[in-house]
Amino acid sequence: MKKISVIGMGSWGTTLAILLAEKGFSVNGWEWMERYARAMQRERENKLFLPNCAFPENLKVTNNLNETVSFADIIVIAVPSQFVRKTISKIRNELKCKHIISVTKGMEADTLMRMSEVIIQETGAVPENVSVLSGPTHAEEVSKKLPATIVAVSINEKLAKEVQRIFMTDYFRVYTSSDIIGVELGAALKNVIAIGAGIADGMKLGDNSKAALITRGLREITRLGVKCGANPHTFSGISGIGDLIVTCESRHSRNRFVGEQLAKGKTLKEITDSMEMIAEGIKTTQAAYKLSKKMNVEMPITNEIYNILFNEFSPQEGLKRLMTRSAKSEDEF
């Protein structure tokens, strides 16, 4: 059995580490805060982010990053997107020749890069050694072994199938894909729309409004994705509409929560200060806004969410601008 290290022991990293250990792999998990790492190793669970999920004996947690990477044949990157570059820069030489799996959903606000691009640029890894695992999979449910589906994607078909084999269980069904652009953009951009869905919930706009937001949001995501080189069919699949639906609707969604609190009048700082975990959609909104301008793609919903988050526009103003835009056909933006 291969040795696997999970870099980042938040709720999702912890869930995957437990899943892999229960399948019989030797697993090391890296936690960046030493006191949390010690607590997890001592208590054999992640009481902060994933309570009541016991660690198998073959799952070890440490604060030693180099030791964690040296231990494994396969490295799973599960740190938040804004910390991916900083984290892997410390271990770039060790990562270069290993199989790397990114499970992080987001984009860099400054470079506008997807996570696989950041990993390849920072480590010099061969693109054929990099894969992504993404889909509608909240840790809170997967950790309870509730049925879920996800996509393993790589330009290397053999690697995608290997990742599929490694992670597949009777409750965690893994599909494969070669469209790494589409899968990563779908995973990142759905968080932007989910903030909008939370705003709609907070404003009590009803089911009709939520349906409109999701469908028009998907059109925005697809339009930008295709311009960046993605396969349009990807956005009709698990990592597209599937991930979008669950993130816009679930009580577990941190991004939906951010939008809901904004609609209730809280400031962005007040909201983020109150959260233990990171809402990826905040930084991704910045990246999506900049990328849409760079690629000359009209994204009206994304624009309004950007204005609400960063220009102090009210949700009511954003809604009015969206609803009073000039009349168009459904194929237009």
CATH at residue 66: 3.40.50.720
How distant is the alpha carbon of residue 264 from its chain centre? 25
**Are residues 224 and 120 part of one domain?**
no
Q: Determine, yes or no, domain membership for 32.
A: yes
**Are residues 232 and 104 part of one domain?**
no
Following DSSP, what letter does each residue of 73-122 receive, concatenated?
A: SEEEE-S-HHHHHHHHHTSHHHHTTSEEEE----B-TTT--BHHHHHHHH
Q: How many domains does one find in the chain? A: 2
Q: Determine, yes or no, domain membership for 57.
A: yes
Q: Determine, yes or no, domain membership for 331.
A: no
CA angle 274, 280, 286 (to 5 degrees): 110
Residue 284 has a pLDDT of 94
The residue segments making up the domain with residue 96 are: 3-136
**Are residues 298 and 220 part of one domain?**
yes
How distant is the alpha carbon of residue 176 from its chain centre? 17
Residue 96 has a pLDDT of 84
Q: Determine, yes or no, domain membership for 170.
A: no
**Are residues 127 and 203 part of one domain?**
no
**Are residues 122 and 54 part of one domain?**
yes
Residue 76 has a pLDDT of 98
Alpha-carbon torsion (247, 145, 173, 43), positive or negative: positive
For residue 191, the domain's CATH number is 1.10.1040.10
CA distances from 333 to 3, 70, 261, 297 (A): 48, 49, 28, 9
Q: Average pLDDT per run of 10 along the chain, which is 333 residues long?
A: 93 98 97 95 95 96 95 95 94 91 95 97 95 96 97 98 98 98 97 96 96 96 97 96 95 92 92 85 94 96 96 93 91 74
Q: Kindly tell me the burial class for residue 213, based on how many C-beta atoms sit within 10 Å of its own C-beta (0-12, 13-18, 19 or more).
A: buried
Structure tokens given for 148: 């879920």
Using only the alpha carbons of the chain, give its radius of gyration. Answer: 19
In this structure, which amino acid lies at residue 332?
E
Q: Given phi > 0 = left and psi -120 to 50 = alpha, else beta, which region is 329?
A: beta
Beta bridge partners of 179: none
Q: Considering 60, 105, 190, 283, which one is annotated as catalytic?
A: 190
Residue 316 has a pLDDT of 94
2 counts as catalytic: no
Q: Determine, yes or no, domain membership for 73.
A: yes
Task: Go through 12-26 and write b for each residue having 16 or more CB atoms within 10 A of its CB, e for each that does not.
Answer: bbbbbbbbbbebebb
Residue 190 has a pLDDT of 96
Residue 181 has a pLDDT of 98
**Are residues 289 and 186 part of one domain?**
yes
Residue 1 has a pLDDT of 67
Q: Are strands 172-177 and 74-77 parallel, antiparallel or unpaired?
A: unpaired
CA atoms within 13 A on the CB side of 226: 12
**Are residues 90 and 11 part of one domain?**
yes
Residue 279 has a pLDDT of 85
Asked whether the beta carbons of 9 and 46 are under 8 A apart, the reply is yes
